[in-house]
Chain A
Amino acid sequence: MNTAAVVKRILKQFHRDKRSVALMVAAPLLVLTLMWLVLDTETSAVKLAAVDVPAQVVESIETEGITVTVMDEAEAEEKLNEAEIGGVLQWEDGAPFVILEGSDPNTSGTIRSTLQKQLSEQNASMEWEYWNGSSELGLFDYVGPALIGFFVFFFVFIVGGVSFLRERTQGTLERLLASPVRRSEIVFGYLGGFGLFTVVQSIIIAAYSIYVLDVFMAGNFLYVLLVTILMALTALSLGTLVSTFAGNEFQMIQFIPLVIVPQVFFSGLFPTEGLAEWVQVVGNLMPLTYGAEALRDIMLRGSSFESFQVEVYILLGFTTLFTVLNIAALKKHRPL
């Protein structure tokens, strides 16, 4: 009941505070675009060899802006060796089979996403193989999923944390607690109000990244939304919890290098596979690690729910933990 009142109030405040809304939606879009400009250097001409491929398939791929040359297997292998082509599309038992040259991740990424789009409908299982190396995708394609998660996380953390902090500094928290509201109702109200807002925020950011910036996307858009919204809720509950330890807005900003920046480095936004074990252990304590992993699963590998459900549960676990701590932390302001 009171939760609904708090939710309604937060949404009204959003409605009035256009600048925060802009920060949470426009800023991620802007930064994602900049990252995309820097990282997603489109290779000029992507060359693909076609071996025993049905003619109409060749046609459908060419319209996508890839130069397709029909040749035989021996010739194709020679060109792969000399890296003159980005990959070979072959037909084996009526199913597509692709060998990627693999040395330029952007080229491989373009071929991969194009073929996936064009051919995956008829052929559920496409075979992929690498001639050289195994860096599968463009750098932006690789970090894209994690970036989407990161920006949602970062801006919700800041805006959520600061609004909860202001509730305290402007005295309204005390005023609220001097009314028959339960501590949990306040915290759930925040989760609800911001939750509704982050649904919209997540849709916009994910849709922009996937459909406008064309980040590689092999999976279900709804799964992407599910994970980003969960990340937003984790960020909100963490932000409000952390704000308990801040005396003013500036101190809240001081938590960024403490709470946010390490997550960038440890969460696998940049690959951590080769790094020392303790790095990976630290990463395992960070919510962003699981969000980024789940998003990569969905977007790069087109995974089904089963393969990223563990991450989903862990994110839910983080949210629950932070929420419970939040409710407890409010005891400082009213023992009941």
Chain B
Amino acid sequence: MEAAVEMKGISHWFGKVQVIHDVDLSVEKGEIFGLLGPSGSGKTTLVKMMTGLLRPSKGVVQLNGEKMPSLKQLRQFGFMAQSDALYSELTGRENLDFFASLYGMSRKDRHLRMNHVLDMVDLTAYASRPVNTYSGGMKRRLSLAASLIHEPELIILDEPTVGIDPVLRQSIWSELNRLRNHGVTIIVTTHVMDEAEKCGHLALLRDGRMMAEDIPSQLKSKLGVSSIEEVFLHYGGGARA
């Protein structure tokens, strides 16, 4: 089966500084793929390449077998950026409506999907309030809802649970699992070790290098350790000066 996302031989320089070093990565359809790495390791940079916002200095990115950037593939995924990309003067519903209209959804579809995703992130009661009255967690949830609005078959989430309390984090993860069960492919970046355990596949990133990539249980058993944290320390512990 063709991979949802395929990155081959990716290197990237910002000016003279190389921030990504020869990364290969392949995300199968229907899995939750985690990109784990500390802050500054290059997660956002890789995500931007997947979404076509950044062209790698070297290497090829493909979505569903098509080279990025491509307007057709831009329709296929939902994206939740690391920062809440919302219009603060507009209400939650108006934000969703705007993003939905970019995908050419009919008025009726937009209406149905808006109600659905608002319900999903538990914001129905706040939908007609302007976003600048939202708490940080509510904005995160609205961003998530916006990335799901057009029922994409692939969603790319850049640190979706940062700044969200544990209860809500739990509910977001159960939502991601539910989507996965419906065949949606999910790519999620995180720097939180215990979240990594929840991913079907895990790539460990450090200083722009991919150190290991496997099923979490395999990563652990190969080294005979009991947590992803230990795995991470094993691969990257000594690397940082």
Contacts and interface: CB of A to CB of B under 8 A. Distances in A.
Contacts of B85: 170-172, 174-175
25 contacts: A1-B104, A5-B101, A8-B98, A12-B94, A13-B87, A16-B89, A17-B89, A171-B81, A172-B85, A174-B53, A175-B79, A175-B146, A178-B52, A178-B53, A178-B74, A179-B74, A179-B102, A180-B103, A181-B102, A182-B71, A334-B69, A335-B52, A335-B54, A336-B70, A336-B74
Nearest to A2: B102
A180 B81 contact: no
B90 interface: yes
Contacts of B77: 178
Nearest to A16: B89
Contacts of B83: 170-171
A163 to B, nearest CB: 10
Interface string B107-145: 000000000000000000000001000000000000000
Determine the main DSSP class of B at the interface with A. loop
B62 interface: no
Nearest to B100: A5
A87 to B, nearest CB: 55
- The size bracket of the interface on A is 20 to 34
Interface of A: 1-2, 5, 8-9, 12-13, 16-17, 170-172, 174-182, 333-336
- The size bracket of the interface on B is 20 to 34
B104 A336 contact: no
Given A177-B52, A178-B52, 4 more contacts: A174-B81, A174-B85, A179-B102, A335-B54
Nearest to B94: A12
A91 B98 CA distance: 66
A334 B130 CA distance: 29
B102 A180 contact: yes
B49 to A, nearest CB: 10
Which of A16, A172, A175, A334 is packed against the most chain B CB atoms within 10 Å?
Answer: A175
A336 B51 CA distance: 11
A16 B102 contact: no
B55 A9 contact: no
A13 B89 contact: yes
B101 A178 contact: no
B117 to A, nearest CB: 15
A2 B74 contact: no
